[in-house]
Amino acid sequence: MSINYQQILNEIVEETQYLTGKGKVADYIPELAKVSPNQFGIFLQMMDGSSYHVGAAHTQFAIQSISKVFSLSLAVSLLGEKVWERVDVEPSGTAFNSLLQLEYEKGIPRNPFINAGALVVIDMLISELKKPKEDLMDYIRMLAGKNEVHINKKVAHSEKQHGFRNAAVANLLKDFGNIHNKVEDVLDLYFDMCSIEMNCAELSQTFKMFANHGVLPGTEKQILTRSQTKRQNALMQSCGFYDESGEFTFTVGLPGKSGVGGGIVALFPEQFTITVWSPLLNEKGNSIKGMKALELFTTKSELSLF
């Protein structure tokens, strides 16, 4: 029986109406607080090339922590297993920017998707790449299959002006010897990466590699090995939603990654990638409408890993 995906997306818009206006935009980064809060878009990209969308699926937004999937993927492709000597693979069970846990665990971040872990991954990239920022951007452009991926300079500036907690995390990591480069350089690239702007359609395209066992779709190019891709998706499943990864697995049942810009990308290997965007967040930092939309999607389509 074929599934009417467009109808499912249309129904999701109707059935999440009641959540309009609920939640808060991420105002700890002042520039993010300027976004118009009630926007909502979904882009479903099937691995056979067909796609479906509703709402603001082509509006750009800051991808924030979703970018951590790309930096990790590049680090793993460059360093392989060595990455795991400096970052762990456990759900954090605490806030994504916790200092307490890092102190307690002697500078080894719980996973690469909390801020401490992402900062260590960025440090690895700075050590490994000739032109870290350009090379990272080029890597993301390659995954996206386009040349126009760019950084929102206003958001990056705003983060740099207000990133006191991230600076504290980076300094603590440095003190434990788990940052090898200059703290300023690590923070700078981290904030730039978080400020990359994409839309739902572009993110769904960019994540196809992870749903395609590491092969860049439409090419023979193996970006990650099958095993590395499996691990990347496993980490998204167990650690992709701050301190709400269990809830996301429970309600949606797909690996994915959220960001405080209100975006969420999720995927089903060999089947599809899907991106939702709605800027109003719950207290854990995840998009309220986005979470509900994905729950409805896997329930209605009966396409979940579990």
* Residue numbers at the binding site for ligand GLU (CB under 6 A): 64-65, 96-97, 115, 159, 166, 194, 259-260, 285
Smaller CB separation from ligand GLU, 166 or 278 = 166
Q: How far is the CB of 129 from ligand GLU (least distance, A)?
A: 20
Smaller CB separation from ligand GLU, 54 or 186 = 186
Active site residue 260: yes
Q: How far is the CB of 68 from ligand GLU (least distance, A)?
A: 8
- For residues 116 and 96, what is the distance between their CA atoms, to the nearest angstrom? 8
Q: Which of 69, 169, 260, 276 is catalytic?
A: 260
Q: Which of 155, 190, 245, 258 is catalytic?
A: 190
Q: How far is the CB of 3 from ligand GLU (least distance, A)?
A: 31
For the chain, the residue count is 306
SS (H, E, C) 176-239: CCCCCCCHHHHHHHHHHHHCEEECHHHHHHHHHHHHCCCECCCCCCECCCHHHHHHHHHHHHHH
* Contact criterion met (CB below 8 Å) for 278 and 255: no
Active site residue 183: no
Q: How far is the CB of 248 from ligand GLU (least distance, A)?
A: 14
Active site residue 120: no
Q: How far is the CB of 275 from ligand GLU (least distance, A)?
A: 15
Written as six digits, the tokens of 294 are: 């994905």
CA distances from 140 to 4, 30, 131, 137, 198 (A): 31, 26, 14, 5, 11
Q: How far is the CB of 235 from ligand GLU (least distance, A)?
A: 15
- The three-state secondary structure class of 6 is helix
* Contact criterion met (CB below 8 Å) for 291 and 240: no
Quick count: other Cβ atoms within 10 Å of Cβ 222?
A: 16
Active site residue 208: no
The DSSP 8-state label assigned to residue 119 in this structure reads H
Q: Which of 5, 52, 68, 276 is catalytic?
A: 68
Could you identify the residue written with the tokens 């790309």? 70
Smaller CB separation from ligand GLU, 64 or 273 = 64
Q: Which of 5, 52, 139, 242 is catalytic?
A: 242
- For residues 123 and 114, what is the distance between their CA atoms, to the nearest angstrom? 14
Smaller CB separation from ligand GLU, 97 or 299 = 97
Smaller CB separation from ligand GLU, 65 or 237 = 65
Smaller CB separation from ligand GLU, 8 or 120 = 120
Active site residue 68: yes
- For residues 281 and 94, what is the distance between their CA atoms, to the nearest angstrom? 17
Question: What residues act catalytically?
Answer: 65, 68, 190, 242, 260
